[in-house]
Chain A
Amino acid sequence: MDLSHFKILVVDDHAITRNLLRKSLSNLGVLTIVEASNGKEALQRLEKEAVNQSPFSIIFSDWQMPEMNGYEFLLAIRQRASYRDIPFIMVSAERDPAEIIKAIRSGANEFIVKPFSEEVLRQKIGYLIKTKQVA
């Protein structure tokens, strides 16, 4: 699985988890990783990259965040033509099946529960590639 051409947006209010995701994604071969600390900041990042015509391959986003949470961020990007097709993986401590279903029904492609392993990340990205949700 060659992920060297992937550009990934990691959104989490905790730098400690952003660091862990960055490290794991780097280990999987991803070379370009951009970070944001909440949904609002992530939207600004998306807009900036859209101007540069350099779209993201996948978005990994936490759910519980200040300013704009991951669910609000998901709804916002699914309403915008420029970003609505970017695969979105929610990464959260949330374990309520009803909430997970709510995220999937609202447009999240996958859901990862914290704590997670690098192997889980590999499997989720592999599934998106296999099902042609990302190339």
Chain B
Amino acid sequence: MDSNQMSPRGDFSVKRNSDLYSAFVKKGVEESFQFLFQKRPDLLECEISEVGPDFPSFFGLMKMSGDQHEVISIIAFPKETLVGLAKGSFDVGDPVESKYLRECLGELSNIISGAIRGQLLAEGLKIPLCLPETSLGQQCLLDSTDLFLKLKFNLGTEPFHFYLTIRSTPPAIRKIS
């Protein structure tokens, strides 16, 4: 299925629309990486996860809450992958300051989520753009029984992941440590 194919009107389930949503997430991730880092990641896997993601500790998160739906997108990196991106972007050496890591996570989340939101708007789902949240070194579990679209990308180092879910009521995020 290509990204021009429409989902059933009003049905925003990531399970039923997984082909469509994975196509435009892939496009959004590729274009954002090209823009910010002049690199193009390869999509390795795409799956629907039955449980909320227990994701690595370096992530950017966007919660876009509308009147009837909330869209949550998360981009999560192994530390070394993120450090490599920050070094390349800011031309800095070790140790890389946390502000540079947050910069990469924040703007990546912002631009990718903007691209996803644009597609969802075209599908009839109106949600506002918001400021991204970032976390460095805080292991988190998204307390949710919702289904997540999980995409695994390769950037020549350790893979990174992108998660997307669309739900009608907001889940809570529980800090583990």
Contact = CB atoms under 8 A, between A and B. Distances in A.
Interface stretch (B74-82, B103-111, B140-148): B103-111
Interface string B88-131: 01100000000000011011001101110110010000100111
> How many of chain A's residues touch chain B, expressed as a range?
20 to 34
Interface string A1-13: 0000000000001
B31 interface: yes
Contact of A16 (B103, B117, B130): B103
Q: Is the interface of B mostly helix, strand, loop or mixed?
A: helix
A20 B118 contact: no
A14 B131 contact: no
A94 B107 contact: no
A66 interface: yes
A115 B103 CA distance: 16
A114 B90 contact: no
Most B Cβ at <10 Å: residue of A19, A20, A92, A115: A115
B35 to A, nearest CB: 3
10 contacts: A15-B103, A63-B129, A64-B110, A65-B131, A93-B110, A93-B111, A93-B115, A113-B114, A114-B111, A115-B111
Interface of B: 31-32, 34-36, 89-90, 103-104, 106-107, 110-111, 113-115, 117-118, 121, 126, 129-131
Given A20-B35, A93-B110, A114-B110, 14 more contacts: A13-B106, A14-B107, A16-B90, A19-B89, A19-B90, A93-B129, A94-B114, A95-B115, A95-B121, A96-B129, A114-B111, A115-B34, A115-B111, A116-B35
